[in-house]
Amino acid sequence: DSGVTQTPKHLITATGQRVTLRCSPRSGDLSVYWYQQSLDQGLQFLIHYYNGEERAKGNILERFSAQQFPDLHSELNLSSLELGDSALYFCASSFGPGQMNTEAFFGQGTRLTVV
Amino acid sequence: AQTVTQSQPEMSVQEAETVTLSCTYDTSESDYYLFWYKQPPSRQMILVIRQEAYKQQNATENRFSVNFQKAAKSFSLKISDSQLGDAAMYFCAYNAGNMLTFGGGTRLMVKP
């Protein structure tokens, strides 16, 4: 158990809908990262928050948004869902503001299926 | 942009044997970190080993070791005495800042 909790584990929804994925980082970790793992794109970085502030953005679509709350949990909002958004969404956390030299602990992911 | 390439989509190894997974990367940075992550069927991403680019000595973690060739931008993972539990997807990853850039992965099968 990495200590990072993601809910829900599985989500099935229809095209055009909106969903929210939730991540609770390890106790004491201030950074939260979101990654998308799809069959054709592999693992891609979406966004990084540190202590409530956005630190870095990757290939995140405009239909997607995220935030980190004062209690440090994070939510990833996906709207106007398309079939191609079906993927495994990972959250990872680490203590410091960057991931470079500190181990990032990954949650078990949320499997999103858009039908 | 940094890229990470794993040229072996699948590898297989006999139990107790040794296998090497390949990874190359492209970067103009001089200071960065490289990682190997394991993803078993449970989907959990587990850090296997980490290498700091400014360290010439290759990292080792029990049965796992790397061959880091900075000039060649190569970072291979050697698994010795392979065990059935080593069967998983293995991802090479690079970090020079705020995010990990992953390779496409190598599926490792371990034959009993």
A-B contacts (CB, under 8 Å): 52
Per-residue pLDDT of chain B (112 residues), as tens digits, is 789 999 999 999 999 999 999 999 999 888 889 999 999 998 889 999 999 998 889 999 999 999 999 999 999 999 999 999 999 999 999 987 778 899 999 999 999 9
Contact A63/A80 with Cβ under 8 angstroms?
yes
B2 and A CB contact within 8 Å = no
Residue A103 tokens read as: 């181990």
Contacts of B1 (CB under 8 A, 6+ apart): none
Residue of A30, A100, A102, A106 to mutate when probing chain B, most B C-beta within 10 A:
A100
- State the Cα–Cα distance between residues A107 and B44, nearest whole angstrom: 7
Question: What amino acid is encoded at B105 in this protein?
Answer: G
pLDDT for the residue numbered A96:
77
* pLDDT value of residue A101: 61
* Phi, then psi, of A83 in degrees rounded to 5: -55, -35
pLDDT of residue B88: 97
CB B40, CB B48: distance < 8 Å? no
Please tell me the predicted confidence (pLDDT) of residue A7. Answer: 97
Q: How do residues A38-88 score in pLDDT, each as one tens digit?
A: 987 789 999 999 999 999 999 899 999 999 999 999 999 999 999 999 999
Cα–Cα distance for residue pair A104/B31, rounded to 1 Å = 18
**Region A7-22: what's the mean pLDDT?**
98
Percentage of residues in chain A having pLDDT higher than 90: 83
E-only strand ranges, chain B:
3-5, 10-14, 19-21, 24-26, 33-39, 46-52, 60-61, 64-69, 74-79, 88-95, 101-102, 106-111
- pLDDT score for B96: 79
Query: DSSP per residue over A9-47, as a string?
Result: SEEEE-TT--EEEEEEPPTT--EEEEEEEETTTEEEEEE
**Best mutation site among B29, B32, B35, B100 for testing chain A: the one with the most A CBs within 10 Å?**
B100
pLDDT at B95: 86
**DSSP code at position A16:** T
* Burial of residue B74, with CB atoms counted within 10 A of its CB: 0-12 exposed, 13-18 middle, 19 or more buried: middle
User: B2 — phi, psi (to 5°)?
Assistant: -75, 140
Backbone dihedral region for residue B90 (phi beyond 0: left; psi -120 to 50: alpha; all else: beta) = beta
Amino acid at B44: Q
- Which pLDDT band holds residue A102 (cuts at 50, 70, 90)? low
d(CA A107, CA A61): 22
